[in-house]
């Protein structure tokens, strides 16, 4: 697996490959798309799917380049389509020139199986940071998988911001508590920004998830404008 993050958003993009078949998925290609595609090339990986955790501008600026290079389907949750379709305007809000992105090919569906080589991706709808946020659980086919690509839902020691259109703080907390925590403490969490963590670490120590009912709950912070 490879992850890359570049300025200005330092948003993590990922290539996850099957060691046996060399099939792979590309997750959240942003401004670092060229280095992710180069990594796949060097490793002889064939990327089968472009998977988006959500449609904020920092997570999708590389989709057009990836689609041109790969010609494989792009996946998104339908509830984030309004964000995806306004990505040029969202970029302009941050003073960035962003190219318009190609159409979504496939909307995530409940119980959908996305496979690459001997691996399967389970899609969990985790709204709150945005309406169509999902977490992608990856593991060997036939297992539930212990690698979680969570987008901006959960970070090491923080949670996603909830002050952008369609976001909701209580919905985000519920997604983390009711959808992510039951996946198990051993799951490794790969967030959209910053370093990896685990469900167990965040369940025990994340200040946002310790303070239910406390009026002094910490506020979400952003490394970047759309974190
Ligand atoms: Zn982000
Ligand atoms: Zn985001």
In tens, the pLDDT along 54-86 reads 999 999 999 999 999 999 999 999 999 999 999
Ligand 1 centroid from CA 20, angstroms: 31
Residue 219, domain member (yes or no): no
**What own/partner pairs with CB < 8 Å and gap ≥ 24 does 38-42 have?**
39/2, 39/4, 39/15, 40/2, 40/15
Average pLDDT along the chain: 92
Ligand 1 centroid from CA 190, angstroms: 12
Residue 190, domain member (yes or no): yes
Instruction: Return d(Cα 77, Cα 107) in angstroms, integer.
Output: 5
Is the pLDDT at 10 greater than 60? The verdict is yes
| pLDDT tens-digit series, residues 157-174 | 999 999 999 999 999 999
Residue 84, domain member (yes or no): yes
Ligand 2 centroid from CA 151, angstroms: 7
For residue 131, give the ligand nearest its CA: 2
Q: What is the per-residue pLDDT for 223?
A: 41
Residue 218, domain member (yes or no): no
Ligand 1 centroid from CA 84, angstroms: 13
Both tokens of residue 175? Answer: 């997604």
- For the residues 188-204, what does the mean pLDDT come to? 97
Ligand 1 centroid from CA 177, angstroms: 20
φ and ψ of 122, to 5 deg: -100, 135
pLDDT category, 220, cuts 50, 70, 90? low
- Cα-to-chain-centroid distance, residue 127: 12
Instruction: Return d(Cα 195, Cα 192) in angstroms, integer.
Output: 9
Ligand 2 centroid from CA 70, angstroms: 24
Residue 222, domain member (yes or no): no
Q: What percent of the chain has pLDDT over 70?
A: 93
Residues around the ion ligand 2 (C-beta < 5 A): 56, 152, 226
| pLDDT tens-digit series, residues 133-148 | 999 999 999 998 999 9
Cβ 80 vs Cβ 54: under 8 Å: yes
Ligand 2 centroid from CA 216, angstroms: 24
Residue 66, domain member (yes or no): yes
Ligand 2 centroid from CA 45, angstroms: 27
Ligand 1 centroid from CA 224, angstroms: 7
Ligand 2 centroid from CA 165, angstroms: 11
Do the strands 147-151 and 188-191 form a parallel or antiparallel pair, or are they unpaired?
parallel
Ligand 1 centroid from CA 112, angstroms: 25
Q: What is the per-residue pLDDT for 227?
A: 55
CATH number of residue 48's parent domain: 3.60.15.10
155: how many CB neighbours lie within 10 A of its CB?
A: 24
Instruction: Return d(Cα 142, Cα 200) in angstroms, integer.
Output: 23
Residues around the ion ligand 1 (C-beta < 5 A): 11, 58, 152, 192, 226-227
For residue 160, give the ligand nearest its CA: 2
Residue 225, domain member (yes or no): no
Where in the sequence is the domain holding 89, given as residue range(s)?
Answer: 2-209
Residue 227, domain member (yes or no): no
Instruction: Return d(Cα 37, Cα 187) in angstroms, integer.
Output: 26
SS3 state of residue 16: strand
| pLDDT tens-digit series, residues 79-122 | 999 999 999 999 998 899 999 999 999 999 987 889 999 999 99
Is the pLDDT at 215 greater than 50? The verdict is no
Pick the closest to residue 149 from 31, 61, 51 (CA basis).
51
Ligand 1 centroid from CA 156, angstroms: 14
Instruction: Return d(Cα 4, Cα 15) in angstroms, integer.
Output: 9
If one counts the domains in the chain, the total is 1
Q: What is the per-residue pLDDT for 114?
A: 97
């Amino acid at each position: 697996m490879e992850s890359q993050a570049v300025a200005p958003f330092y948003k993590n993009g990922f290539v996850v490959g099957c060691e046996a078949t060399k099939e792979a998925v590309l997750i959240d290609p942003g401004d670092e798309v060229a280095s992710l595609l180069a990594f796949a090339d060097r490793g002889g990986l064939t990327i089968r799917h472009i998977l988006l955790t959500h449609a904020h501008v920092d997570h999708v600026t590389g989709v057009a380049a990836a689609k041109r290079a790969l010609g494989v389907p792009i996946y998104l949750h339908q509830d984030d389509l309004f964000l995806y379709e306004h990505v040029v305007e969202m970029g302009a809000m941050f003073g960035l020139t962003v190219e318009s992105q190609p159409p979504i090919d496939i909307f995530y569906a409940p119980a959908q199986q996305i496979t690459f080589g001997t691996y399967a991706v389970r899609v969990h709808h985790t709204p709150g940071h945005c309406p169509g946020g999902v977490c992608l659980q990856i593991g060997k086919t036939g297992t539930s998988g212990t690698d979680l690509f969570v987008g901006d839902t959960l970070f090491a020691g923080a949670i996603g911001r909830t002050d952008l259109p369609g976001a909701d703080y209580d919905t985000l907390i519920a997604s983390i508590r009711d959808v992510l925590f039951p996946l198990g403490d051993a799951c490794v969490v790969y967030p959209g920004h910053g370093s990896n963590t685990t469900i167990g670490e965040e369940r025990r120590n994340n200040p946002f998830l310790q303070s239910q009912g406390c009026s002094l709950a910490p506020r979400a912070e952003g490394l970047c404008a759309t974190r």
